[in-house]
Every structure is written in structure tokens, then in C-alpha cells.
Amino acid sequence: MEVLGNQIRVQSLAQDGKVVVPPRYVQPAETRPKHDVEKRNDNDLPTPPVIDLSDSNSVHEELGRACREWGAFHIISHGVPHELLDEMRRVGRSFFEDCTMDQKLSYACDPNSPASEGYGSRMLAMSNDKVLDWRDYFDHHTLPLSRQNPSKWPHFSSDYRKVVAEYSDQMNALAEKLLDAVGEFYQNITVSYYPPCPQPELTLGLQSHSDIGAISLLIQDDLGGLEVWKDGEWIFVNPLHDAVFVILADQIEVITNEQYKSAPHRAITNAKNARLCVATFHDPGKTKVIRPAFEPPKYRPVVYGDHVLSWYSKGPEGKQNVDALLL
């Protein structure tokens, strides 16, 4: 078992052949998944919209409806080369499955600094004693270019750094297109790896939360495990291989004065196969003051950096952090 700074890598737990999940990963009964991933694809619940960005006649209306009713949706004809999506999944999986643990640990993040760049298993502050997620990850700081340092990224696939840099550019352009915005985003790309779990009925790969920034762009592998919260139900997001899944984050909810809503979501685990997803987060600068653009305001203004600190110190707990801004 590999331990670094009190962080145990979940992949090591899975490879040790444990048949019982350690207590720190066991969810309370009320937050445990009701069904495993293999049973969630054929349900009768509604599914997030799929929006074709090339359909100029209806795209704006469909985007608006999806932002109001879901806060999360698939997009196709998005302009990002499908081959690049596959390459990003390939290099991400290669890091976790083809590198030795020593090689991976050479890129370990700082366990005492939440959301630091690199390879880790725990994003919340070490003082936060919440149940742990059944997940390992690699976080890349990609934009603005002043914070991008590819030497901190893996090089064991010879084209890893090139693929991540190109993917960063394409996702940034897509985020600007969706938000109709020109300006500097702070962008992180997080590759999440969910090892097989011996007791998926007791665990979550990623606990329920809304994202803290502006907009998140996600691709999954073909296994799937992402769920979004809608009308009192957890809805399984069926993977669409060449699509990008869009998740609105807290700052969009505040700016639109709750016309658009950030989408609570989580990841479930399964017993048989490892799962991979790549999430690209686009956030305001830490000193940016976020406030509603419409009257009367439903939220108090907040310095974005303070919102980030709250998220990482208190934990996500669904939408507790953005709800705390309500007037």
C-alpha cells in the first residue's frame, strides 16, 4: 500500500485485493447509491438534454431551456476534434495504468494544500474529516499561461504534455463560445480515475457537490458513472463518446440571479472495471467580485477566492456553499 503525507492512493487499495472497503470510504446510509452502474442505463427517468451546436435555428432556445431546467447537458457538433477527446482519455488512462507507483508518486501533489497541482486522492483540507471518495486524480493547472508549467505534468507517454496543452486550448475556446465571453479564465484539467470497488453499494467515487466556478466541461469513458440531481432523483448520465458534457457552476447561478442553476452531481463506483473521466474547470480570478446581474438580487456579492476557500475548508455537501450566499 502506498502512503504519502497521510494520503493512501485508492488504486493501491484496489490492487491489494481488499474485499471490504476501509471505514473512511463508507458513506452514511442516506448518501449511498441505490443502484450500481450496471443497472442505471435502462431506467425510465428523464436524461439530460443533448444539444447540437450546429443547429442554428434552435440552439439558443435549447441552451437556455437546459440551463434553466437542468444546469447540465450534452453538446455535440462542438468543434473539438473527436480524435483529441480520445487522445486525452488515452494519455490520462496511461498515467494511472501503465506507470509504476513510484513514477506516479514523483508527481504527487502537496497533501497539505487543497487543490494543489499533481497526483492525489484527496482534494479537501486535511482538517476536513468527511468520508473519503473512492478516486485518485491528476490535476493540471493550465490557464492562464502564467500558471502553466508542463514540467509538472507526466511525461511517461511521450505526447502527454502536448495532448494536454492542445486539449486545454480547445476546451478554453469551447467555454468562451458557450458563455459568449472574451476574457481570461482560470482553467484546471482534472483526470479522475475510479478503481474497481469491492463494495460499490457503500461508496461514492465523488460525493455530491456543485462546482464552484463558472462552467465545467467533462468527457467520460464508455463505462459511465456520473449522476446529476434533478427533481429529487439521481439521474444516470449515459456516456456519449464524442459529446462533451456541460455542467454549470455556482458563479453562473449567482450572476444570473438563479435564472440558471448550478447542477449538483456525483460519481458512483462499480466492482468490475476502472472508470476514467476528464473534467475541465473554467473559473473567475480569485479577486473577482461575483454579484447578480439582475434586480432584485437574490445573492450577496462574494469575492470568488472566499467562495473557493469555503468549498475546500467546509466541504461541498451538495450546494451548501452557494446556498449560503442567498439573501
Instruction: Tell whether 65 is covered by a domain.
Output: yes
In a domain, 12, yes or no: no
For residue 95, tell me if it sits in a domain. yes
Examine residue 213 and state whether it is found in any structural domain, yes or no. yes
The arithmetic mean of pLDDT across residues 35-39, rounded, is 56
Question: Mind listing the pLDDT tens digit for each residue in 241-262?
Answer: 999 999 999 999 999 999 999 9
CATH number of the CATH domain containing 209: 2.60.120.330
64 inside domain: yes
Q: What is the pLDDT of residue 37?
A: 54
Structural domain tally of the chain?
A: 1
Domain boundaries, position 317: 45-324
Express each pLDDT in 187-232 by its tens digit: 999 999 999 999 999 999 999 999 999 999 999 999 999 999 999 9
Is 164 inside any structural domain?
yes
Q: Does residue 32 lie within any of the structural domains?
A: no
The residues with which 277 forms a beta bridge, in sequence order, are: 192, 220
Mean confidence (pLDDT) of the chain: 90
Q: Is the dihedral of CA 125, 126, 129, 130 positive or negative?
A: positive
Asked whether residue 6 is assigned to any structural domain, the reply reads: no
Mean pLDDT of 61-71: 96
